[in-house]
Amino acid sequence: MNPAAGSSAPMQQRIHAANPEPPARLKVEQVSYAYAATDRSAPEFTLGPVSFQAQPREIVAILGPNASGKSTLLRLLAGLVKPLSGRVEIDGAEASGLHLRTRAQRIALVQQESELLFRLRVWEYVLQGRYPYGRRLRFESPEDCLLAANALSQVAADPLRDRWMHQLSGGEKQRVILARALAQQPALLLLDEPTQHLDIGGKVELLRRLRRLADDNGHSVIVVTHELNLAAEFSDRILLLHGGKCLRVGSPAEVYEPEILETVFGAPLEVEMRPNGRPRAILRGNY
Amino acid sequence: MRPLTPRRILATCGLLAAVLFVVVVISLRTGAYPISVREIVLTLFQGARGRKDEVPPEFWLVVFGLRLPRIALGILVGAALSVAGAGFQALLRNPLADPYVLGVSSGAALGAIVSLVAAPHVVGAIQLAAFAGAAATIMAVYFLGRRGGQLDSATLLLAGIVAASFLSAIIIFLITTLNTQDLRGMAYWLMGDLSSPAPTTNISQWLLFLFSVLAVAAGVMYATSSDLNLILTGEEEARHLGVNVRRVKVVVYVAASALTGLAVSVSGAIGYVGLLVPHVMRMMFGTDYRLLIPASAVGGAIAIVAADTLARTVVAPTELPVGAMTALAGAPVFIYLMRRSVR
Amino acid sequence: MYLRPYAGSAARAVMALALGAGAAAGPGAFAARQAPPLAAATRSVTDEIGRRVTVPSDVKRIVSLAPNLTEILYALGLDSKLVGDTDYCDVPAAAKTKPHVGSVLAPNLEAIVALHPDVILAVANSGNRKETVEALDHTGLAVYAIDPRTVRDVLASIEHIAALAGAQQQGEELAARLQARLDAVQARVKELPPAHALFVVWDEPLITIGHNTLIADALRWAGAESVIVSQQSWPQISFEEVLRLQPDYLIFANDHSDSGSTPLADLRARPAWKELRAVELGRVVTVSEEITRPSPGLIDVIEELARAVHPEAFGEAEEKRASCAR
């Protein structure tokens, strides 16, 4: 664990993964899934089989065009649905078999947020991330407040603490949602298309932050995205999905071959290696 | 960052309870029978000591037979309706939800009418039949309101509205075609009236029974208040945080419907309270359901006892039904809330 | 919450007040204002809806919960025993000066209790609500309910009330006098074909009376017959039905409205109603609203009505049209 470098508040501590040993690990073995419009008709969409692993401090990007099964795979990883075959294991336990609150202590899923019904302050929202710990009807302890405060500062959202949720900008709200996920002290952090509504500066800032969080807190981070170059730049491994099939798993340099990328994304692409060993995809020629 | 603590809940409810106490005192003093405050206090005092024989029988009758039961009923109904309203607003994800939107009151009214026609002189038949009607409606709407095996807010709302309309149509049909026995009593009942006599002569036992049901149903709903706070930020998000959304929805539905059925069987469909009290409490104390539920309970009690006291005095000696008073006072409050737009 | 510090002191103040009030109470502190002692002798009677009621043998204080009951008491000469009636008791005018206990549908229980009545009179079936009677039962007060469905029932009720109040003889005499008047009317109209009439309770929507109502019975005593025969009490009918049946007479109950024109003139101005033969011929009768009341005044109305729809039987000219209330 890195010492508390660069922190200004004296009491700040890192958010450790709730289970420091054994090392948080996601194991996906031959997972497949299918769904159909009704119970009786033939499957409209099949996903898998998919296999891969994620270590602590790793960022894995699930990459693919729209309707390639990325979100379905994410839901499988989150344990929200049970795979038709294969296993999703988190720290050795099958994700979909975990008790709801235990699962929420290990896995945090960050999605686009629904509309809030009533007014809520930012700190109240982030505190809700502590729900999986303790009894169902619970009152927050000082430790909960400390963890929530730390989560907010880790996403640089300290000044937003007392603001109303509905008054935040898109980027601010996303940081707060991320803070709530961090307050869960998860081993596994899942994000579904987090860069969707951000401008390029926001996208880069988010991925940099994820990198820092993975390093500092030891999370395994899985990001679903279709941003080719950001994925290449920030992730340790990439899983390439197309039409429900897992075409490649590996480091960005291994996965980014021009022919495969062209097939998957349906655009004329070239791959260029950058000095830091990370590939970059560029549109080729005149279009 | 000041999270909610049990101490703050108790302090807020204590404050509200003090207001309720004042309202109850004023209500105890209000009435056509000439009895002074001192005599009321003496009667209460002797009653608490169990010395019924030392109190003039008419004083005992007025205090323990007429005023207190009515006040107790008002507290019960106010608490039940407000907690039910808060629950439905969360369950249906709709700030305009009130306890009657799912048709419970129409079912109860139908039960009451049927009992008036079928068994007009059986004591207690109305309350029992009303509760049976409410229960049947609750079950029917539950099954209609499911989608994909679990309760869905939008579907539930639609099912409830359809049920309410259908039942109201049956009620209108019955009222116009049946040989009207004594259906004018229904007009009072439909508007909401606290003066309906108890079904038994042992009033304190009956009240104890009613308050037990209130305590159980409200308690069950309170146990889900942390869950509700999360569900209000989004059902999917709540699921990800470990809330058993499916089960919570069923529990809240049953508890809130039971509370509504209880209130309606006893006093008809008193309007506006279940809708407005939670909103006012939210404005004053925030949207955290761990505080909102008990605050709404006491706030609702204050509202109904105050409304009933007014209903008994504005056109004395005639008594208005309390539902007329809540409607009169409720509409301006509703407009005011709308303009402040709670968001 | 910033009010939290005050909650404690408020609670303490309230408790002190309550304790202080309790402390001021000494034993036997209820002063001389005791309720009058219960009457010594009581008897048990059964009222007209089958309830057993225990009343004092000597009834001195009566509360009436409906205007017709007040009327009956005055007609029996028992108004000195009437200690309270409703806001709507207006016949005779002296009844308005009695202490009021509220409306017919929602009388004030405390006001009734405060009057210490020996018996409370109520009317079932289109009179007082059964909830009111039940609530009064709970207070331990005696409630006697009448339930007259026909004109003869009204006479019987008068006798029952008289017997209840210790005025049996007056009751029998009054009933006999009223019966004699009814017989006199019947003698004149019995041989004649009944006048086909429509009793209009309300014009829009058009509501009339059912076959088994008191008003229908009163019509029959007056030699009239409703053209609508229905088992419902207040059937709603379409105007076309009336147009088809073309009743000889239209009967309205006076609602004491102070409009300048007569009902006939109003009807002649209305587009559909003026097509009715009864309106053309001017056979629109307005009777007093006593026709809705089970009281001695009902007999007055029957006589009025008989005169209006069978003028020839009473030696009057055919041209007599609308007869207004007293």
Is A145 in Cβ contact with B3 (below 8 Å)? yes
Residue B82 placed within a domain? yes
Residue B27 placed within a domain? no
Residue A85 placed within a domain? yes
Name the residue in chain B with its Cα closest to that of C233. Answer: B179
Between C185 and C14, the more confident residue is C185
Is C129 in Cβ contact with B66 (below 8 Å)? no
What is the DSSP track for B242-298?
Answer: T--HHHHHHHHHHHHHHHHHHHHHHH----SHHHHHHHHHHHHH-S-HHHHHHHHHH
**Residue B23 contacts residue B310 (beta carbons within 8 Å):** no
Domains and CATH numbers, chain C: 42-175 (3.40.50.1980), 192-314 (3.40.50.1980)
Is A114 in Cβ contact with B236 (below 8 Å)? yes
Q: Is B85 exposed, middle or buried (0-12, 13-18, 19+ CB in 10 A)?
A: buried
Please tell me the total count of domains within chain A.
Answer: 1
Average pLDDT, chain A: 86
Average pLDDT, chain C: 83
Lowest mean pLDDT among A110-119, A120-129, B96-105: A110-119
Residue A155 placed within a domain? no
pLDDT in tens, C4-45: 444 444 445 555 454 444 444 444 456 544 445 555 688 999
Average pLDDT over residues B168-195: 76
**Residue A114 contacts residue B237 (beta carbons within 8 Å):** yes
Average pLDDT over residues C301-311: 91
Is B45 in Cβ contact with C24 (below 8 Å)? no
What CATH number has the domain bearing residue B79?
1.10.3470.10
What is the DSSP track for A113-131?
Answer: PPPPSS--BHHHHHHGGGT
**Residue A77 contacts residue A27 (beta carbons within 8 Å):** no
Residue C60's pLDDT band (cuts 50, 70, 90): very high
Residue A43 placed within a domain? yes
Is B197 in Cβ contact with C27 (below 8 Å)? no
- Give C 51-110 residues with CB within 8 A of chain B: 87, 100-103, 105-110
Give A103's contacts in chain B (Cβ within 8 Å): 242
What CATH number has the domain bearing residue A95?
3.40.50.300
Between C2 and A257, the more confident residue is A257
Is B180 in Cβ contact with C233 (below 8 Å)? yes
Residue B240 placed within a domain? yes
Neighbours of chain C (3+ CB pairs under 8 A): B
pLDDT in tens, A235-250: 999 999 988 889 889 9
Angle (CA) C257 C259 C260, round 5°: 140
Residue B324's pLDDT band (cuts 50, 70, 90): confident
Q: Is C234 exposed, middle or buried (0-12, 13-18, 19+ CB in 10 A)?
A: middle
**Does the pLDDT of residue C52 top 80, yes or no?**
yes
Q: Which of B8, B22, B319 is closest, CB to CB, to C106?
A: B319
Query: Which among B183-187, B290-294, C27-31 has the top mean pLDDT?
Result: B290-294
Residue B2 placed within a domain? no
pLDDT in tens, C213-258: 999 999 999 999 999 998 888 888 999 899 999 999 999 987 655 5
A100 touches chain B (CB under 8 A): yes
Select the residue from A75, A102, A118 to test the B interface by mutation, using most B Cβ atoms within 10 A. Answer: A118
Is A131 in Cβ contact with B3 (below 8 Å)? no
Residue A62 placed within a domain? yes
B334: domain range? Answer: 34-340
Average pLDDT over residues C195-204: 90
pLDDT in tens, B61-78: 889 888 999 999 999 999
- Residue A165 is classified by DSSP as G
Please tell me the total count of domains within chain B.
Answer: 1
Lowest mean pLDDT among A140-144, B151-155, B188-192, C197-201: B188-192
Is B320 in Cβ contact with C134 (below 8 Å)? no
A139 touches chain B (CB under 8 A): yes
Lowest mean pLDDT among A71-75, B12-16, C14-18: C14-18
Residue A267 placed within a domain? yes
Give A123's contacts in chain B (Cβ within 8 Å): 1
A198: domain range? Answer: 26-111+187-283
Is C108 in Cβ contact with B32 (below 8 Å)? yes
Quick check: do A and C touch, 3+ CB pairs under 8 A? no
Residue A217 placed within a domain? yes
Residue B168 placed within a domain? yes
Q: What ranges make up the beta strands (E) of chain C?
A: 42-46, 52-56, 62-64, 82-84, 119-123, 143-146, 195-200, 224-226, 249-253, 284-287
Q: Which of B1, B226, B232 is closest, CB to CB, to A136?
A: B226
| B113 CA to centre of own chain | 20
Which strand (E) or helix (H) includes residue A222? strand A220-225
Nearest C-alpha of chain B: how many angstroms from A254? 33
- Residues of chain C with pLDDT > 70, as a percent, come to 82
Q: Distances in Å between the alpha carbon of C147 and those of A113, B188, C53, C85, C124?
A: 67, 22, 15, 18, 5
